[in-house]
Amino acid sequence: MKKIIITIDGPAASGKEKIAKFISKKWKLNHLDSGILYRRLALNFLTNDVDIDNVYQIKKKLNTINNISFRNSLRIRTQKISKLASKIAVYDCVRSFVNKLQHNYVKKNKKKQGFVIDGRDIGSVVFKNADLKLYIEVNPEIRAKRRYKQLIDSGEKSIYPKILKEIKLRDRLDKIRKHSPLIVPKGAYIIDNSGTFKNTIGQIAKLLRKI
Ligand code: DC
């Protein structure tokens, strides 16, 4: 049986992860969050004192890495790692490394009926021939408000204007980079996630019935 692939792209804090998790559970698909791989590499470079402005050091380090964990963890969810991940994601060598990991993951994990993969370039570059491509859209102010609430609810100190500024900066880094910038992939359906989650899922369920 053919394994289906659903891609979810969109800017930082647009809700891709929550949507991907929901789809994964409801339709029994493997979920792969490609952002985790960029974050894991950022943490690796940070702990090994790799100068992230020096592409030669980065390439040298990549040659020594055999395995990267696909697991999420609080250590890779800090603001520092978020910023570092955006910075290293501009390098072609980093993107090729991460893309290979994703293709190997799909090749090896054949048990479930398919995959839902989220990131910034999944439908445009990594899995161009996906069965369904989604692009999640939410304006930066709503994204910042949601992230602010999340942080406050979890007991962290947070300042809304600072979060908004950081989200806009990450959008800029993601959209202006030379290699695989964040775009609406060809053939992708744009999903408006500014309303309720129920509304968002309703839009997606209609599309899923078609495939
Ligand atoms: O989705 P996230 O916030 O966990 O991603 C962290 C960073 O990794 C993000 O700022 C940009 C980069 N990234 C990317 O360039 N391409 C992807 N497919 C996924 C993430």
At 56-96, the pLDDT tens digits run 999 999 999 988 999 999 999 888 998 899 999 999 999 99
Q: Is residue 161 part of a domain?
A: yes
Pocket test for ligand 1, best of 8, 38, 174 (most atoms within 8 A of CB): 38
Return d(Cα 172, Cα 7) in angstroms, integer.
22
Mean pLDDT score across all residues of the chain: 94
> Is residue 87 a contact partner of residue 59, using CB atoms and an 8 Å limit?
no
Q: Is residue 189 part of a domain?
A: yes
Cα 36 to averaged position of ligand 1 atoms, centre (Å): 8
Return d(Cα 168, Cα 174) in angstroms, integer.
10
pLDDT band at 160 (very low <50, low <70, confident <90, very high): very high
Over the stretch 169-191, which tens digit does the pLDDT of each residue have?
989 989 999 999 999 999 999 99
Q: Is residue 205 part of a domain?
A: no
Question: Tokens 């930082």 sit at which residue?
Answer: 12
Residue 207, pLDDT score: 94
- Which structural domain, as residue segments, surrounds residue 129? 4-195
Q: Is residue 124 part of a domain?
A: yes
Q: Which residue has the higher pLDDT, 98 or 2?
A: 98
We report the CATH number of the domain holding residue 93 as 3.40.50.300
Residue 59, pLDDT score: 98
| Arithmetic mean of pLDDT, 2-15 | 93
Residue 158, pLDDT score: 84
Cα 119 to averaged position of ligand 1 atoms, centre (Å): 6
| Arithmetic mean of pLDDT, 150-179 | 90
Q: Is residue 144 part of a domain?
A: yes
| Arithmetic mean of pLDDT, 139-158 | 90
Q: Considering only CA atoms, which residue is closest to atom 13 of ligand 1?
A: 35
> Which atom of ligand 1 is least distant from the CA of 173?
10
pLDDT band at 139 (very low <50, low <70, confident <90, very high): very high
pLDDT at 155 over 90: no
Report the share of the chain in percent with pLDDT over 90. Answer: 84
> Which atom of ligand 1 is least distant from the CA of 170?
10
pLDDT at 1 over 80: no
**Number of domains observed in the structure of the chain:** 1
Cα 1 to averaged position of ligand 1 atoms, centre (Å): 31
Cα 13 to averaged position of ligand 1 atoms, centre (Å): 10
Whether ligand 1 lies within 6 angstroms of the CB of 174 is answered as yes
pLDDT band at 199 (very low <50, low <70, confident <90, very high): very high
Residue 88, pLDDT score: 96
Cα 12 to averaged position of ligand 1 atoms, centre (Å): 8
> Is residue 29 a contact partner of residue 23, using CB atoms and an 8 Å limit?
yes
Contacts of 150 (CB under 8 A, 6+ apart): none
Q: Is residue 167 part of a domain?
A: yes
According to DSSP H, which parts of 136-191 are helical? 140-153, 160-176
Q: Which residue has the higher pLDDT, 209 or 193?
A: 193
pLDDT at 135 over 90: yes
